[in-house]
Chains A and B, each alone.
Chain A
Amino acid sequence: MTNATVLLDPTAELSPVMRPRLARPASLEGRRFGLLDINKARGDVFLDRIEALLVRRGHTVHRYRKPRFSILAPTELKQQIAAQCDIAVEALAD
């Protein structure tokens, strides 16, 4: 049997098949940003500038870097981001 797995929806199907994004905050005031560098060339320059612009708006900014661009971020790194940040910006995939 080579059928692709299909699951049947156990819910009332009130929400769309595509999962919604996490709700966005009404205001960004006081929100902590994490900039996640996926470790591809030139991304650091881009993120340096984003950091400067965020700091100018009064945000706390933490910087993170994946060990390699082609892998998933390690769990510890994601735990650290979740503990320290409200918003994450991941850059720069090309």
Chain B
Amino acid sequence: MHDIRDLEDRGVVGVGIVSAEFSTAAAAQNASLGYDPAVVFIPHPIQDRTDEEMRALADQAFDAIIRAVSASG
């Protein structure tokens, strides 16, 4: 999430894609950074997925990603 903050400081709108397993860790880190970057969570686990399943996860997450980087979202 440091990268997203740094990129936003450089004027680039950012969103991070994170496995749902990490939602608590991300929240703790944000509190200490004083910053709450846009995050889209996808279902855990990741490592054992087939290509087909990964593409399905991307399809499911796509609308949320678009919403996270646009004002209309």
Contacts and interface: CB of A to CB of B under 8 A. Distances in A.
A94 B69 contact: no
B13 A22 contact: yes
Secondary structure class of chain B's binding surface, majority of residues:
mixed
Interface residues of B, number: 45
A81 B13 CA distance: 11
Interface residues of A, number: 41
A88 to B, nearest CB: 5
A28 B15 contact: no
Interface string B1-15: 011101110111111
Contacts of A17: 34
A67 B11 CA distance: 23
Contact of B46 (A78, A81, A89, A94): A94
A26 B71 CA distance: 5
A50 B58 contact: yes
A25 B8 contact: no
Interface in A10-51: 17-19, 21-28, 34, 36, 40-43, 45-50
Nearest to A47: B58
A53 interface: yes
A91 interface: yes
Interface in A49-94: 49-50, 53, 66, 72-73, 78-79, 81-82, 85-94
